Every structure is written in C-alpha cells, then in structure tokens.
Structure 1
Amino acid sequence: MGAHADTRSDGRAGVRAPAPAGVCPVLLTPFRPDGEVDEDGFVRVVDHLLAVGARSVMFPGFASEVLALSDDEREHLSMVLLERTARREDVTAVVSVPDYATHHAVRRAARLVEAGADAINVLPPHQLAPPVESVLAHLEQLLTAVHPVPVVLQHAPLQTGTALTVPTIRALAERHRNLAAVKVESQPPGRTISALLDSETPIPSIIGHAGQQLPDALDRGAIGVQPGCSFTELYLRVWHQWEAGEPAAARRLHTRMLPYLSSWMQDVNVIVGAEKIVAMRRGLIGSDHCRAPVRELDDGERASVDAFLDEFGAELPEVGP
C-alpha cells in the first residue's frame, strides 16, 4: 500500500481497508546530550529507512519514548515524518494516536489524516482502567472520524492491561471495516493472530514486541511486523527470504537475532537503549541519550550490544551524517 493507495471501504459492509504490510519500523526519537530533540537525526533515520527499502514506518510508539515527548514535540515530529514521506508514492506513513482522552484522540487523528497520514495506529486508553464500554466508545469515535483511512489497533495487554478481548475486537471490526489490522503484542501472540483471522471477515495481524515470534506469526498468517528501527535491514532480509519461499533461511537469520531480542525485550527501557546505541554506532544519530526517568543499561547489557554489533556489523554498515 503506497501513500496514495485507494483505501475506500463501505464502513459497515464490504472488504476490509488495506493495512500496511511487511516490515514497518517504529521510529526512535533522537535526543541531543542536553535532552533536546535532535530533528536532524530524526530526518536522517527516516531517510535511511526509506533508502534501505522500508515501505512503511510508524511514529510514535513505545520505541519512540512517546511518554517522554511533549504534545508539541510529538506533533512536530509527526509532521516532519509526513513531509519526508509525502514525496514517496510507495511509502505508507503510520502515525500513532495514544491519547487517553477521547476528545484529544479523535481530533488528533483527524488532524493527522488531513496532514497526509496514510494510516492511524491507535493505542486504546488504559490508564486508570477505564471500563470496556468507554474504551469501545473511544475507538468507535476515532474510527468514524478518520473513515475510510485504515486504522491499526494496538493490542498490548502486558504493557497496558487493556480491557479488550478478541471477541470484542472482532465485533468492533465488523462495525468498522477501516479497522484494518491489529498490532498483536500479547504473549504469546500466535493464538491471538489465529483467532483474529478466524472471524466472519478475517482481521489481519501485525506482530510487535520486536518480532520475537515472527516465524510463528508468519506461519499463522501475520501480514507485517513493527520492530524498532536501528537494524531494519535484518528484519527486511528475514521478510524477503520468507516471501521468496526460503523459510529455512529466514528462520536461521531470525534465530541468530533472537537471543539479543529476547534479552533486550525483558524491559522496554533496555531495548530502547540498545537500539539507540546501535543507531549511534552506525552514524544514524549523534547521541544515545534517553530522557529520564530511565533505567540505564548496565555493563552486561552494553556488552550484549557490543556482541550484537560484532556478529551483525558486516550486515549493518555505518551510515554517517
């Protein structure tokens, strides 16, 4: 699906709106050592991802340190992203709306679509455990406001304790065919992916959580993966090998990555920190600074990043400014 793909659907009947497929990296937010946003670094990351073959990108997410960004920073960087992707007909810009208040979420989503977002990612409200009826009302209003633009529903029960269940999501998707896919971050994700496809109108899945379960997800019919962005080339190789009918080669590469991914993903702060070190060492960003409060990587965790770069360095060349 490109930036200007036809995403029309009947809303309450007909085919489901197309969702961004393939490898869709979640952009990191570069900060200078003083903690200010490094906009030039952000642009460099976006341009690099498009240059190596990513055909969709997402911002902001947990990997973007979204909780550490002000509303103005989040809005500004989203507009920078849309400006960089607008020139590419073959790229889908997915912009996330994690706002808790329905009032803000609906208006932000509509504004982003007006500015050129090709798809919206929505993180359902979860702080203070709102009742499922309120969460559904939030999603219904957002889906209606951006129709027919595709919406990806982020299902991250471990991080959010969301009240949504697969049957609830199925019912919502039947009412709104622009609910194009679910980003599955449940653990394990496989059963959720299969259950979503086992619907009257199948609901595609995009796997998150650094793609730790990517081969199983692909076996079960997942259409995409949303990992971090500092070693996108490796995920693209796995994806292309799988699509080329070489699942054994894809599994071998994924198996090499898995010890690092499973270690870092034990804590969101760790994988964000690891991704930033990799990006800095490659020349994508100038600093690996993460905004406080954060759990700094210890010597063992930093050693694992060194080992990762030793193993994959030849496949992840330096980029430079």
Structure 2
Amino acid sequence: MTKEIRGVLPVVLMPYTENGALDEDDFLAQTDHMFEVGSDGFVVGQMSELLRLTHGERLRVAEISAKAAEGRGISVMSTGAETAEAAIEYSRHAQECGVDALLVMHPTTLPLGDEEMTDYYSRVIESVEIPVIIHHAKSLAKQPLSIAVQARLLEEYGEERVLYKPEAQPTPPRVSQLRDATGGRARIFEGDGGMMLLDCHRRGLVGTIPATEIAEIVVVLWRLLEEGRRDDAERIGHPLSYLMCHMMNSTDYYLSIAKRFLKERGIVKNTLVRGPSRHVLDDETWTEVHRTYENLLALSKELSR
C-alpha cells in the first residue's frame, strides 16, 4: 500500500569518505538522526549533491534509501534528469528498489515551455505507479514552471499521484496560486529550508522539506503550526529565516555550513563537498551562524516539551 506522503521530510546531505567515495555509514547515520528527532521520512534531493553523483552512485543511493526507511517512515528519491528517458530510467529503478515517492526536477540546460514541461512530466508520471513530487528548483530553472502546467498535471493524474515542491519566487504567493488553481487539491511542500514556512503553512501545505542539520528544529516548528500555536512558532520561525538568509547564497555555501554543523554534532565524520567549486567558510560567518544554530536547537528543545 502506498504511504501517505506528508509531514517533515529532511534532505540527506551526501556524505563522503576521506577519499571521496560515498560514505554509506554516514548516510544511514543521518537517516537514523532524522527518525530519532521525529521526522516523517527523508529525501534525497538537489541539496544531496545529486547532480555531482555518478550514474552508479545514483542507483546505489536509491537502494540504500529504501532500506533505511523500511518500517520507519517515508523515503523519497530525486530522479529528475536532462531528458525524459533518463528520468524514467532513474524513476523506475527507484520504484523497483522500494522507495515511496519520487522528487522529479525539470531539465536544467534548456528553457522549456509549457508543452515541453507537460510532456516531460507526463512521461515520467506514466512510467511509474508511486507518487511524483513535481520540483521546481529556482536556482536551476531557466524559466518558472507555470501554474497552468502544474494544475494540468493534477487534473490528468490526480492528487494521489502528483504532489508539488514549488520554489519559484516569490514562493508564498505561488503556493496560493497553485492552491487556488487546483481548487485546494494540490498537496504542496515548502522547500526553502523553513525560511518561508510561517507564511506558506497557512496558505495550505501537506509538509516541508528542509535538510538534515535543521531536522529537529523544523519538526518542532511544523508541530507548533499544525497545533495552531502561532506565537511559539514565530519564536523559532523568525531566527530560522535569519539562519537560512546566511546559508542560502549558493549550494556550496549552504553545504559548507550545514556539513560543519553535522560534523560538530558527530553525525558525519567530515565536511567534504564535491567540486569543482567549494566555498571556504570564513570564521566570522561561522561564529554568527553557529550562535544562531545553537540557540535554535535549545529553543526547539524548550518548545517541544
């Protein structure tokens, strides 16, 4: 039976050994941590350095994702590619491995119009039986994925097969547009590290997709919002947005900070990020983000009681 895809689903930050190979033990350490702090599952997404993995590594990650989630929660594997043919191959393999849903990003090398986007996503959705989360990645899209295309796919395949992770800016108004264009049927995930979760939640969400290092912070924030405890939620949501303003300057900038958080906490063994571009974190930035992060961890523990 297909699991209900909802709740807090953090993204694994791809760990590597000192010689640059995938570190499966640290991958599993992250998934263990996510379930221990109350996450509903996890995602392998773009912040998992997906586009920097080899073909074989992508296949292997799908396999270990399915096993890591078995009996504990939801596993979501990102299977988007530059062609529908490649995306279909990755999607079918992930389904065969036993993952619960797919996160499918659009191609990134060409600006695709509505017809090309509809064809790409339709072919992928029709190739599998598990749910597909349509992912618009704002930093990689040549042009925004239109609300019309997203609504058309839901009408064609239904809300059990098609979900959404919209990141086109400004995100909150587009969440409302997608909600309204689908008569409230669209099942939408926030995907900006909790940055706009306070606003997006009340516009209609089924979940949020942060990353490993802020898993317990966002678990508490999500629960507060679901319980209607807005004042308490703002106590976490506002400093979390400030932290994300620091981190979300680029993929490498984010990873340089997030992996250092995880290493300091003993969840991963190193902070290696695959090249060719690597951000070097300066001491003053680290001091500020670390202070903010520690305060958020303490506050989330206080508000979870």
| TM-score for the superposition, normalised by structure 2 | 0.91
Question: What is the aligned partner in structure 2 of residue 242 from structure 1?
Answer: 225
- 102, 108, 118: which is aligned to 2:90? 108
Distance 2:36 2:179 in 1: 33
Please state how far the C-alpha of 1:296 moved relative to its aligned partner. 2.2
Count of aligned pairs between the two proteins: 298
Deviations 1:263-308 (A, max 9, x none): 2112221111111011101100000111112222223332233323
Deviations 1:227-257 (A, max 9, x none): 1111211001101111222111011111122
Structure 1 residue 78 corresponds to structure 2 residue 59: no
* Alpha-carbon offset, residue 25 of structure 1: 0.2
Counterpart in the other structure of 1:25: 10
Which structure ranks higher in relative contact order (CA pairs < 8 Å, sequence separation ≥ 6)?
1
* Residue equivalent to 1:169: 150
Structure 1: any 5+ residue segments left out of the alignment?
7-17
Residue 141 of structure 2 is matched in structure 1 by 160
Q: Which segment drifts farther, 234-243 or 191-200? A: 191-200
- Stretches of structure 2 that go unaligned for 5 or more consecutive residues are none
Q: Report deviation, 1:310.
A: 3.9
Confirm or deny: 8 A CA contact 2:106 2:135 kept in the other structure: yes
Q: Are 2:80 and 1:98 aligned?
A: yes
Aligned ranges 1:122-271 → 2 under 5 Å: 122-147=104-129, 149-162=130-143, 164-177=145-158, 178-201=160-183, 202-271=185-254
Q: Secondary structure at the residue paired with 1:284?
A: coil
Taking the aligned partners of 2:253 and 2:139, their CA distance within structure 1 comes to: 16
The aligned amino acid for 2:13 is L
- Aligned counterparts of 2:261 and 2:140: Cα–Cα separation in 1: 24
Q: Is the 8 A contact 1:282 1:316 kept in 2?
A: no
Tell me the equivalent position of 2:284: 300
Residue 46 of structure 2 corresponds to which residue in structure 1?
A: 62
Query: What is aligned with 1:41?
Result: 26
Partners of 1:163 and 1:254 lie apart in 2 by: 27
Q: Any idea what SS the aligned residue of 1:210 has?
A: coil
Are the structure 2 counterparts of residues 187 and 40 from structure 1 closer, same or farther at C-alpha, using a change threshold of 3 Å? same
Structure 1 contact 280–287 (Cα < 8 Å) conserved: yes
1:276 alignment partner, one of 250, 254, 259: 259
Name the SS for the 2:28 alignment partner: helix
CA RMSD of aligned residues (A): 2.0
Identify if the C-alpha distance between structure 1 residues 130 and 165 changes in structure 2 by more than 3 Å, giving closer, same or farther.
closer
The one-letter code matched in structure 2 to 1:243 is E
2:101 aligned partner = 119
Contact conserved, 1:131 with 1:163, CA < 8 A, in 2?
no
What is the deviation of 1:163? Answer: 5.0
1:123–1:154 Cα contact (<8 Å) kept: yes
2:144–2:168 Cα contact (<8 Å) kept: no
Q: Report Cα offsets for 1:106-141 as digits up to 9, x if no partner.
A: 122122112211111100113132444333212111
For residues 283 and 182 of structure 2, the distance between their equivalents in structure 1, rounded to whole angstroms, comes to 51
- Residue 85 of structure 1: CA displacement? 1.1
**Contact preservation (8 Å) 1:278, 1:305:** no
Q: Percent identity?
A: 25
Aligned residue in 2 for 1:12: none
Residues 104 and 250 (structure 1), Cα distance of their counterparts in 2 relative to 1, 3 Å cut: same
Name the aligned partner's letter for residue 128 of structure 1. L
TM-score using structure 1 length: 0.87
CA distance in 2 between partners of 1:313 and 1:254 (Å): 12
Code of the residue aligned with 2:189 in structure 1: it is: I
